[in-house]
Amino acid sequence: MKVDLLTKPFSNFKRFFENGTLIDSGPLMLIFYREFDKKYNSDFLKKISYDKIDYTALTLFINGLPGRLIITPNIFHELYNHAQKHFDNRLREFFNVCFDKLIGMEEMPVKKNDMLNHDLFIELEIGEHSLICACGTEPHAIIHGEERGIIDGKLRQNKDILTISIKNDILPWYYAMYG
């Protein structure tokens, strides 16, 4: 199901956030890269396709959510791989910045066989796919960073998964709320 933050009250979507909100590696990178940049006066955010305004909008949105953020082992692995590539000899510093937040996130395991047997296995990247499988049978929201519309398109008919894109949903919400 596609979120509509501009014309519908947030209460219409509350059930999706009660079990926690799953977050993709792109939004995690946005949060942690920007926090690293602020601490060390650096510019690692330029290595990914986000701007400071995306960070501001995402953090305001997340801070207003009930419940907790959830990642899967696959999402952590993607974050780690990107950080290795981007931070190289500053990897320890990077993880020192995001350590407490990562520890505070819940981790939801996903079984390999569930992913292999899922009908979208071939069509999505492994991290995105792990988020969908992690939802199981309970309603969840997924914050993702992809703009191609694949996640939204494939899950539009699923009434138990609410997809939220940074660029297509959270950023327009931010501009509508905060100008």
52-66 per-position pLDDT tens digit: 999 999 999 999 888
Q: 152 near 162, Cβ under 8 Å?
A: no
Whether pLDDT at 170 is above 80? yes
Q: What is the pLDDT of residues 80-123, one digit of tens each?
A: 999 999 999 999 999 999 999 999 999 999 999 999 998 888 88
Which has the minimum average pLDDT: 46-55, 119-128, 169-178? 119-128
Which option is the CATH number for 10-178: 3.40.50.2300, 3.30.1540.20, 3.40.50.1010, 3.40.50.300? 3.40.50.1010
pLDDT at position 103: 95
The SS3 of residue 2 is strand
Using pLDDT thresholds of 50, 70 and 90, give the confidence band for residue 152.
Answer: low
Sheet order of strands, 69-71 included: 106-107, 69-71, 21-23, 140-144, 161-165
